[in-house]
Every structure is written in C-alpha cells, then in structure tokens.
Amino acid sequence: MRTTGNMRRRCLAGAAWLFCLLAGVALAATPPSSDPSELLAHADAIKTVDNVAFAKLLEQLDKSSAHFSQAQKWDLRYLEAWQVAYSGDVTKARPLLETIIKQTPDAAIRMHATAALINILGFGHHYEEAFSRLDQALDDLPRITDKNARFHLMGEAAQLLIDAGQYDLATNYADQIIADYPSGRNGCIGMYMKIHANFLSGRMRPLDPLRLRALHACADAGENLMADAIRRDMANFAIQQDKTSEAINLLEGSYVNVVSYRYLELTSEYDALLAQAYWKANDALRAEKFALDTVDIASKSDFTQPLSTAYELLYQIDREKGDLRDALDYHEKYMAADKGHLDDLREKALAYQLAKQQVDAKKVQVDELNKQNQILQLQQALDHKAVVTSRLYISLLLLTLASIGFLLYRLKRSQLRFMRLARRDGLTGIFNRQHFVDEAEQALRYAAKSMRSCCLILIDMDHFKLVNDTHGHIVGDHVLKRAVTVCQHHLRSCDVFGRLGGEEFGILLPECTISHAVDRAEQIRSAINATPGDGSRDITISASFGIASTDHHGYDLRQLLIAADDALYRAKRDGRNRVVVSEADFDPASASPSRSHQAAANDVAKHDEPCADTAD
C-alpha cells in the first residue's frame, strides 16, 4: 500500500494535521458493492488512508449521482467539499461547506461539514468566526446520535479550546470522546487531547496512568504519530522536572520515527526539546546542533513556539562562548519570535472571549423575550380581584427587564472593547498584524479588479534595540509612537497602516506607482530622522524602508511582503536610514531621483485627498 502511505504523509505534512485525524476512519475491510450507499460509506472510509482511490471513486459516484436519493446526494456533496479542503483550496471549500450546513436535512452530515469548516477557519486565523460556529454546533450536539459526527465536532472543539487556553473546557470534550471510545483510534486521539491540555495547564503529574493507557491505545490503533506527540509532552514535562536523562531517552527513542512522518511542526518541537535537554545536560555542542535544526524548519513555517525556544537557547550558547555580536543577533530574533507567539495566543484568547460575550448577550436577549411574554400573558389574564397583586408582580418583572437591559448595555460595551483590542496594536493604536493583513488583502482584491497599481512599504526602526538598552523601554515606546505619528501625517485616508511586530511597520498604498511610493517613503524617512526620539534633542532616530509594487509582484500580499522584506534587508545591509525598492521594481534609468522637487511637493499636497472608489 505505497499509495496509502504517501497520501497519509501528505496529510500529516501540513499544519492542519488534525483535519485528517479527526475526519478519518478505518479502511473498509471488504470491497464495496455497486450499491450507492455502500460505495459512499467505502469512500468515507478510505478518504485519508488512500486519497488517490478516494478521488477516483468520487468521480465515478458523481457520474451516476442522477439516480441517487436526496440523502445520498448530500453525502456525496459533503465528501466532495471535504476533498477540496483536503487538497488545500480553502477559498473554494468554504462556500461548499457553508451551503451544506445551511441546506442539508441530514443532521450528521451537517455536523461533519461544520467541524470541517471550523478547522479551516482556525487554520486561517479566523478565530472569532471559528468560535462562533463552534458554539452554534455545540448547541445541536445533544441531538446528534451519529458517534462519528459527535467525535468529529468534539475533537475540533477540544483542539480549538486548547489553542485558546481554555483547558478545562477542552478536557471536558476530551473526556466525552474517551467515554464514547474507551480504546481504538478515536480513543487514542481523545486521550492525547486530555494529556496535552493537562500538560499546558500545569496539571500533569508524574506516573499518570492515563499516559501509559494512551500509549497502548495509540499503538494498538497504529497511530504512532499521536503516540509520539504524547511522548513530546512527557519529555517536556521531564525537562521541567529536571529529569534530563529521561527526556533525552524519550525524544531520541522516537526521533527517527518523527522525522519519517514529515510532519514538520512535530519535528521542530522534538528538535527544540532535544536542544533544551542537551543544554541542561551540559552538552553545548549537541544543544547548538538541535537548536539550529529547529531554526532551519521553524523559520520557514509559522512555528513560533519552537522557533522562540531555539533562538533563546542559541543566544545563551553564544553568550557563554563570548560571541556577544552573534548572541545579540539571536536575542533580537528570540524577542521577535516570542512576540509573534504571544500575539497569536492573545488573538485566540480574545476571539474566544468575543464569542463568549456574544453567546452571553444572546442568552440575555432570549431571557428578556421570555420575560416580556410572561408580562403579556399576565396582563391578558388579569381580572378585577387580582389587579393590585398582579400590578406588583408586573412592577417586579419590569424592574427585572430594566436590570437585564443594563446588563445588555454592559455586555455590548465589553464586546466592543474586545473587538478594538483584537484589531488594534496596544501601544500605537494602529492596526495589528492580523488586521493589517486582512485590510491589505481586501484593498489588493479591489485594486486587482481595476488593474490599479499598489505599493507596499515595510519600515524598520534602525538600532531600536540599542535605544531600548541605552535609554529604557519607556523611551523606546515613545520612539515608536513618535514614528507612527510622523507616518500618519504623510498618509492618505485609504492607505493601510499597521504594526507588523516589534519595531517593524507596513504601509499599503492603493493607486500608487513605484515612483510615487519612493517619494512618499523619502518624505517619511526624512521626517522620522528629523524628529527627536524622546521629545528632546538628545536622541536621533532613523528608519530603513523596503518597497515593492504590484506591477512586478502581482496582487498577492505574501509575494509583496517577501519582495519588500528583501528590499528592506538590502537597505539595512547598505547602511540603514535609506529607501530601497525591490530588484524587480528597480529601474536603472532612474537610479537618481526620477521626479522633480515640484512633483514631490505636489504629492505632499495631495496626500490627504480621498482615493478613488474601490467598491465592487
């Protein structure tokens, strides 16, 4: 079954590996007949273990679907949507799943589709919507009798709640999975989630019998990757308990298998833990080797937690060696990676709180409607003998309604506050990284429809670490806020401005050519360089700029970020305090300033003018 193994490795190589584990079932032991229901059941059974055969079977089923019952057609539509999501086309998969959720009369299929949609929303960092969908689905869960559909949703719920730091709630759903599946593949996954939640919440204890039971269940089910994920948490716990030898034995014993899965996130976590363990064991050479291996994998993906651990360890190793320049460089990278990791955790936690606020508000509204109905019924039933008593009861109910209205007002204010926190950077008040990405991608989509040029400017404050170390973080924060104020003075109302992390900022300029962007960047650079860093004349600050245009890099934000970041790197390398455009956008004929001072002055005069309408 080489094809089966290849497809399984393909599934686990992605960051959304639980999509495959939670949706998969055991391979059917008997060949299917020509009956549509049996063929659909067989397709569902092989979709993760032999995806090539699954895709071929879907094609056959689609050709004969005209003779299917309505229930069979909905089953086929779900499997086709699942395959689209599995292949990585999330943009196409989402509307397919949403249509199934809205229209199918089959509760089990609706639950499977909802669980799949929650997974791709979480993977795409749309945490608030993922939690909102999850809450709606959990309300329907008690009415679902299909055990596989229940497992699919509860698994997604446990994983999403773990990511948001809601470990008690995640453990409740893991316990429900274990109760439904005391052993076997699904039981293995439920036990892993409970162990993982216990470890992250600090409730893991030495000699916990659940760990041994989980390892046996995973081994019996052939879920070796899940067993090695449990060993990762056990090794991490051993390192925290200063049981270094035990941790090294656990990690080295499973390392070859972990690498063979090609699941890069788990590999980077193993590398980071081995680096920590060997560092504690005073084996600096091996510690450095595994830390560098972690950086090699994690820096190419969104694995901020192991990357942060590796950079911190490399900083400590070089500091002990006396290589202070390299140590400082690693420390800066550690701070950036750690901030990215904490920002992602904060974003998930805020999304959970927002969803919880919305649920509480809905419950209060329902309670208010019930109270109003009681008042109407009471008024209709009044007679002359009970007027006084009934009016008193009505007054109490009205007082209750007033209290509920006040509570709704407080909840709404709290909800709006969480929404602002989720979109704005806490220090500068401009867009945070995720909201900048969302707004920039929307602006690029509008620009692409009319083929209008856009430019992306990346800004990085020069020697900002030195300012913090020399003058303190209060002055450093003031430097960042002053730089933001200067930038805002030179921006139009349609420009998208956000803090990407640390001392790095991004500006997307709609309807802007590369020459205009260079002039705008030069104006901002000069203004920053001429602005005192802390409100006095004692500190001179500067910034480096990298620019990329849609004319040469297209309307994909990721490609623009890569090109602008490369230009920013060259600006840093060439001496800082300068503006550099990407190599593809660079015109040798205009290496000197290509526009007159009068043209630049006209741009300054126009920067507050509204942009052209970009609506559909």
* The pLDDT of residue 480: 92
Nearest-CA neighbor of 561 among 494, 482, 483, 506? 506
Does CATH number 3.30.2010.30 belong to domain 433-606? no
Q: Binning pLDDT at 50, 70 and 90, where does residue 271 land?
A: very high
- Environment class of 424 (CB within 10 Å of its CB; exposed 0-12, middle 13-18, buried 19+): middle
In tens, the pLDDT along 548-593 reads 999 999 999 999 999 999 999 999 999 999 999 998 887 665 443 3
Amino acid occupying residue 262: R
Which of 28-42, 130-144, 187-201, 386-400 has maximum average pLDDT? 187-201
Examine the pLDDT at 505 and tell me if it is beyond 50. Answer: yes
262 φψ region: left (φ > 0), alpha (ψ -120 to 50), beta (else): left
Q: How many helices (H) and strands (E) does the chain have?
A: 26, 5
Q: Binning pLDDT at 50, 70 and 90, where does residue 343 land?
A: confident
Which of 8-12, 192-196, 300-304, 602-606 has maximum average pLDDT? 192-196
Return the number of other C-beta atoms located less than 10 Å from residue 127's C-beta: 24
* The pLDDT of residue 367: 62
CA distance 436 to 497: 7
Q: Binning pLDDT at 50, 70 and 90, where does residue 473 land?
A: confident
Mean pLDDT of the chain: 82
| Domain-wise residue ranges, the chain | 295-423, 433-606
- DSSP lists the bridge partners of residue 504 as 460, 501
> What's the rounded mean pLDDT across residues 252-256?
93
Examine the pLDDT at 213 and tell me if it is beyond 80. Answer: yes
CA distance 246 to 291: 19
> What's the rounded mean pLDDT across residues 296-303?
84
Range name among 278-282, 364-368, 499-503 with the lowest pLDDT average: 364-368
CA distance 303 to 271: 12
Look at 347 and 194; give whichever has higher pLDDT: 194
CA distance 326 to 496: 35
Q: pTM above the 0.85 mark?
A: no
Which of 180-184, 379-383, 606-610 has maximum average pLDDT? 180-184
In tens, the pLDDT along 46-61 reads 776 677 888 888 888 8
Q: Binning pLDDT at 50, 70 and 90, where does residue 356 land?
A: low
Amino acid occupying residue 11: C
